[in-house]
Chain A
Amino acid sequence: SQQGEEDPQALSIQEGENATMNCSYKTSINNLQWYRQNSGRGLVHLILIRSNEREKHSGRLRVTLDTSKKSSSLLITASRAADTASYFCATDGGGSNYKLTFGKGTLLTVNP
């Protein structure tokens, strides 16, 4: 079963604009991860945020986490055509349980 639900399901923007994707999850988490998937490079880990963190940055990526609302957001600033991909949030079971539970993903299209 899917743990998270990404919103929106699809997003189309122009190059240079910012893109925001949201993820909601159901159970308590120790951390939340975001992955990107495109046909060229497969599924790639982007960033991990721990449950005691509220915000994390990596290059043009900014992730926030609100554990009280069981939600996370991924912001991509100054988007590029190469950012076109599906973006998934994923949670693991914590402790020694590393298996990931993914959402359905957001398909981002960045138009040049």
Chain B
Amino acid sequence: DTGVSQDPRHKITKRGQNVTFRCDPISEHNRLYWYRQTLGQGPEFLTYFQNEAQLEKSRLLSDRFSAERPKGSFSTLEIQRTEQGDSAMYLCASSPGQGAREQYFGPGTRLTVT
């Protein structure tokens, strides 16, 4: 299966701890996106990369959040000093760019902050 993969699928952490999620996009997709989804809502955009460059960050992405995409391949999303409000599904998506607008989503990482 050469789809988008995310790791871990589930993460339970205590408030105040740091967590890091990983996303592996479809190979050769140069665009990678992070979204956050809470229960009963649609996904909300967090940030995106074109190759290794982070081109846009949402205001939802507070200073406690940081994302990287070294070498333009996989990406990591780190949340420092987690809060209960960070509990959500974190979705990663990729797209080939070059005018193709549809995005391919991974299964998501469900974060629960206790």
| CB-based contact B42/A99 at 8 Å | no
Closest to A50 in B: B101
Question: B16 contacts the other chain (Cβ, under 8 Å)?
Answer: no
14 extra A-B contacts, CB within 8 A, seeds A2-B42, A33-B101: A2-B44, A42-B105, A43-B43, A44-B105, A97-B56, A98-B33, A98-B95, A99-B33, A99-B45, A99-B48, A99-B56, A100-B35, A100-B45, A104-B42
Per DSSP, chain A at the interface is: strand
Question: B108 contacts the other chain (Cβ, under 8 Å)?
Answer: yes
Q: Which residues of A contact B (CB under 8 A)?
A: 2, 4, 31, 33, 35, 42-45, 48, 88, 90, 92, 97-105
Q: Give complex CA distance A31, B31 in Å.
A: 18
Q: Which residues of B contact A (CB under 8 A)?
A: 31, 33, 35, 40-45, 48, 56, 91, 93, 95, 97, 101-108
Q: Give complex CA distance A99, B45 in Å.
A: 7
| CB-based contact B31/A45 at 8 Å | no
| CB-based contact A98/B44 at 8 Å | no
| CB-based contact B56/A43 at 8 Å | no
List, in ascending order, chain B residues with CB within 8 A of A4's CB.
42
| CB-based contact A98/B105 at 8 Å | no
| CB-based contact B107/A31 at 8 Å | no
| CB-based contact A98/B48 at 8 Å | yes
Q: What's the least CB distance linking A78 to chain B, in Å?
A: 24
